[in-house]
Structure 1
Amino acid sequence: MKKAPIKRSEFLVQLSRDHHLTLLFCWKIKEGLKKDIPLILKDYVLFFWNEHMQKHFNQEEELLFARSSSSLCELVTQQHLQINGIISQIKDSDNPQKTIFQTLIDRVNQHIRLEEREVFPFLEKTLSKEELEKIGETLKNEKDDFADDYHVEFWKH
C-alpha cells in the first residue's frame, strides 16, 4: 500500500524543500561511490555543507527546536551534531574511505525521515499558529537561492 504524501504546513514547507534537496545530495554521493573519486566526493560534501546544509541546520535549531523542550527536538539536535562530526571527519581526511560517505548518507537519510515523519508534524501540532506564521515569515526573509551547481557532475554516467 502506497503512503500518501505528507502534507506540510505552509510555514515549514521551505524546510521540507531543503530536505528534498538534501536527499538528492545523498543520492549524488551514492552514485559517486560507484566510482573511485574520494577527493571529488569530499569536495562536494564540503561544498554542500558550507553553502547549504549548515545554514539549514541552524535555521531548524534556532527557529524550531529551540521553541520546544521535547525529547524529539533534543534528538534531532543531537543528530545535527553527529552529522556535523561525520562531515568534520571527511574534511580532516586526506583520502576519505567509502564507508564514511556511506555513514553520512545513512545518517542524513534517517535524520530527514525522522524530521519529516515525526518532528515537523509534532511541532505543527504543538506550536501556535502565530509561532508558525513567524517562523514562516523568517524563513521567507532568510530564503537563500542555493543551487546545487557543483562544478563536476560526477553523479552522471
Structure 2
Amino acid sequence: MKRHEALVPLSHHHHHGLVLAQKLQKTEEKDKFREIMKDIEDFWENDGEAHFREEEEILLPLYACYAKIEEDEDIEKMLIDHTVIRGLIVKLRKLERFDYKVFQELGEKLHDHIRMEERVIFPKIESAVPDKELYKVEGKFHIDSYSGK
C-alpha cells in the first residue's frame, strides 16, 4: 500500500515493531530473558515510546482538525492500545525472571495494533487530511533508529 510521504517515517517504525512482535510471539521458555528484554528496551527507548507520542501529539491533533475523532471507535482503540502496550512494557521491566506469556502478549498486541494503524487509521487520515496539511508535519517524526529514515 502506498503511504503518504509524510507518514512514511511512522510506517518505518511500524516495520521494526512488527519484526519485534514476531520475535516475541515465537518466544519460548528456553529463550534468553535478558536478550529479549534488551531487544524490547532498544525498540522502546529508540523508537516505540517516541512513536506513540508523535502519533498522539502531532498526527491525531492534525486529524482532529478534519474529522470527529471523538466519535471514531478506531481512534479510541488506537489510544487504548497505546496505553496497554505501555503497561506491558512497565510490567516486563518489573519482571525478575522469564515469563514467556507476557512476551507473547506484548508481541500479539503490538502486531495487531500496528496492522490496525496501517490498514485502518492511516488510510482514514490520508483521506481526511489535505495533502498540503500532511506535508506540514513531514519532518516532525523522529528518524527510525534501524533504517535511518
Taking structure 2 as the reference length, what is the TM-score of the superposition? Answer: 0.84
The answer for unaligned runs of 5 or more in structure 1 is: 1-5, 149-157
Conserved? CA contact 2:22–2:111, under 8 Å: no
Equivalent position amino acid for 1:7 in 2: K
User: Gaps spanning 5+ residues in structure 2: where?
Assistant: none
Partner residue of 1:147?
146
- Alignment equivalent of 2:114, drawn from 109, 112, 115: 112
Poorly superposed stretches of 4+, deviation over 6 Å? none
Structure 2 match to 1:21:
16
Q: Distance in 1 between matches of 2:81 and 2:109?
A: 8
Cα deviation digits, residues 112-143 of structure 1 (max 9, x gap): 1100010000000111222201122323xxx3
Percentage identity across aligned positions? 30
Q: Which moved more, 1:10-19 or 1:40-49?
A: 40-49
Q: Between Structure 1 and Structure 2, how many residues are aligned?
A: 140
Greater relative contact order, per chain length (Cα 8 Å cut-off, separation 6+) = 2
- Whether 1:62 and 2:57 are equivalent positions in the alignment is yes
SS of 2:145's partner is: coil
Alignment of 1:126 onto 2:125: no
Q: CA RMSD in A?
A: 1.9
3-state SS in 2 of match to 1:120: helix
Aligned to 1:44: 39
